[in-house]
């Protein structure tokens, strides 16, 4: 399931974040690539120990927690702090799959990557190329969103970032472990929750039909969640 969440960040928030990123310490992205990925990865990213990066990462984590659609779609149990990256001058990331298990011993964090996310921070008209291409069951889909939008997709998917031939593509990327590991079950829960929210807006707060749907939703979460 591929989900686009529009306007996660507003224009002023994007502008402020981009300005702060100018103060960050950038390093070669190959320093965090795996043995196979290093051959296909060419980008820059903010050093994980950079204080500016930590501050901006926490801003994004708070926003994600305040975004109902993200919470509904992800049922996030653990989130790997967002990483900021930049592609320019032909920078790209060839076809790869994200690591199934991610460990940060310094922070005592280990997670199973169920979902990956990209938050776009550059206007799509400001750079050429740089599409996030995600291979799905019915073929590959290219994603190039407005600044402030986010795409959420299975970490198990093969994906790539095509070369940026002009301009600069700034993004934040993150990975998460969901309380519901099975993608099909998570998709059913998301559809059910979105339907409940849509119906609730036109019904009384004590509507019995909505209450029954909420009852079903939570009992399915109880059955499928691994916490």
CA distance 15 to 167: 16
- Tokens standing for residue 91: 């920078």
Taking alpha carbons only, the member of 73, 59, 163 closest to residue 116 is 73
Q: Mark the binding-site residues, compressed into ranges.
A: 96, 98, 159, 169
- Tokens standing for residue 28: 């070669």
Q: Helix (H, G, I), strand (E, B), or coil: what is residue 59?
A: helix
Q: Mark the binding-site residues for 2-oxoglutarate, compressed into ranges.
A: 169
- Tokens standing for residue 194: 């979105």
Q: Helix (H, G, I), strand (E, B), or coil: what is residue 25?
A: coil
Phi, psi values for residue 61, rounded to 5°? -60, -40
* 149 touches 70 (CB < 8 A): no
CB atoms within 10 A of CB 143: 17
* 72 touches 200 (CB < 8 A): no
Phi, psi values for residue 161, rounded to 5°? -115, 120
Q: Mark the binding-site residues for Fe cation, compressed into ranges.
A: 96, 98, 159
């Amino acid at each position: 399931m591929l989900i686009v969440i529009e306007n996660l960040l507003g224009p002023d928030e994007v502008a402020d974040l981009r300005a702060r990123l100018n103060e960050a310490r950038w390093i070669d992205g190959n320093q965090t690539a795996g043995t196979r990925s290093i051959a296909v990865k060419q980008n820059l990213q903010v050093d994980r120990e950079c204080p500016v990066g930590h501050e901006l990462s926490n801003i994004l984590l708070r926003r994600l927690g305040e975004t109902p659609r993200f919470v509904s779609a992800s049922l996030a149990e653990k989130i790997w702090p967002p990483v900021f990256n930049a592609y320019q001058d032909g920078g790209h990331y060839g076809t790869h799959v994200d690591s199934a298990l991610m460990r940060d011993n310094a922070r005592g964090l280990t997670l199973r990557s169920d979902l990956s996310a990209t938050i776009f921070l550059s206007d799509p008209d400001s750079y050429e190329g740089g599409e996030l291409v995600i291979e799905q069951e019915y073929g590959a889909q290219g994603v190039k969103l407005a600044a402030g939008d986010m795409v959420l997709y299975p970490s198990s998917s093969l994906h790539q970032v095509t070369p940026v031939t002009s301009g600069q593509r700034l993004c934040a990327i993150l990975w998460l472990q969901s309380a519901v590991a099975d993608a099909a079950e998570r998709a059913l829960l998301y559809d059910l929750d979105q339907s409940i929210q849509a119906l609730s807006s036109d019904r009384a707060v004590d509507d019995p039909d909505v209450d029954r749907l909420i009852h079903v939703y939570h009992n399915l979460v109880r059955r499928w969640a691994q916490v």
